[in-house]
Homo-oligomer: A and B are copies of this chain.
Amino acid sequence: MKKTVFVFSSLIIALLVLFKLSEYSYRSGNLNIELLISIIAVLFFVIGVYINKKGLTKDGSKPIPIDLKKLEDLGISKREYEVLEQVIKGLSNREIGEKLHLSESTIKTHVSNLLVKLDVKRRTQAIQKAKELKIITE
C-alpha cells in the first residue's frame, strides 16, 4: 500500500532532520552525543519493528494459517475440504474427480454439501467465503 511508502518517507525525513541536528551539535556543542546515539538507536529499532508489524506474536506458537476451528463449526469434513481446495483452484467437477480419483457425481455431492455449509449459492461465492473465513491458505 501507499501507506508503507508514506511511513518510509516520513522516516527518511526524520533521519534527515536527525543528521542535520547531529551536524549542528558538532558546531555548537549543545547536544549530548550519547543522547543522539540513543535517539538513532530507538529510531532504527522502530523502523525495524514497523517493517513487519504484521507478526508481533513473539511467542511463536501460532504459525497455523488455516482456521481449523471454523472448519469444525461449519461441519466441513476432510474430503469436502480437499474438494474445496480444488474448487478454489478453478478446476471443474470432472477435473477434480480425475485428480482425486473419484467420479464426477461424488464431486457434485461434495460441492453441493459445501455450498450449503458455506451458505452460498455458487462455487464462485464459495471461493470468496472461504477466503473470508480464512479457511484456506491464500
Give me the interface of A with B, judged by CB distance under 8 Å.
1-5, 8-9, 11-12, 15-16, 19, 22-23, 26-27, 30, 33, 36-37, 40-63, 65, 87-92, 120-128, 138
Contacts and interface: CB of A to CB of B under 8 A. Distances in A.
28 contacts: A1-B59, A1-B65, A2-B61, A5-B8, A5-B51, A5-B61, A8-B8, A19-B23, A22-B37, A26-B27, A40-B44, A41-B43, A42-B44, A45-B47, A45-B48, A48-B48, A48-B51, A52-B52, A54-B54, A54-B55, A87-B124, A88-B124, A89-B128, A90-B122, A90-B125, A90-B128, A92-B121, A124-B127
Please tell me how many copies of the chain the complex holds: 2
Contacts of A43: 41, 44
A63 B2 contact: yes
A132 B17 CA distance: 41
A134 to B, nearest CB: 13
Contacts of A127: 90, 124, 127
A58 to B, nearest CB: 7
A48 B58 CA distance: 12
A12 B63 CA distance: 17
Contacts of A59: 1, 4, 54
Contacts of A90: 120, 122, 124-128
